[in-house]
């Protein structure tokens, strides 16, 4: 399961979130291409990281862990 699936899984009821024994739940790093002027490139580069950070913070609220625990 990856990215959005991991996010949806974390939104489940505590104590009722299950996965198979050998499954891996991952959130991928943001990936994008940039083109245009310098300002446009800066915005295009920053946008996926902002979204990734937002998803990460919401995920932390769902699972009640610290950011440090989530990164490890």
Instruction: Say whether 3 is catalytic.
Output: yes
Find the mean pLDDT for residues 11-15.
76
Place of tokens 């899984």: 9
Question: Residue 1: what pLDDT?
Answer: 45
36 torsion bin: left (phi>0), alpha (psi -120 to 50), beta (else): left
Dihedral over alpha carbons 4, 5, 6, 12 (to 10 degrees): 110
The residue from 2, 28, 32, 53 that is catalytic is: 28
Q: What does pTM read for this prediction?
A: 0.44
Residue scoring higher pLDDT (21 or 59): 21
Instruction: Say whether 28 is catalytic.
Output: yes
Convert the pLDDT of each residue in 24-54 to its tens digit.
Answer: 777 766 666 667 787 877 777 777 777 777 8
**Average model confidence (pLDDT) across the chain:** 72
pLDDT bracket for residue 66 (50, 70, 90): low
């Amino acid at each position: 399961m990856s990215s959005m699936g991991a996010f949806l899984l974390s939104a489940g009821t505590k104590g009722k979130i299950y996965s198979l024994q050998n499954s891996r739940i991952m959130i991928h790093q943001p990936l994008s291409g940039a083109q245009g002027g310098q300002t446009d490139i800066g915005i295009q580069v920053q946008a996926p990281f902002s979204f990734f950070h937002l998803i990460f913070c919401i995920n932390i609220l769902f699972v009640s862990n610290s950011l440090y625990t989530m990164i490890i």
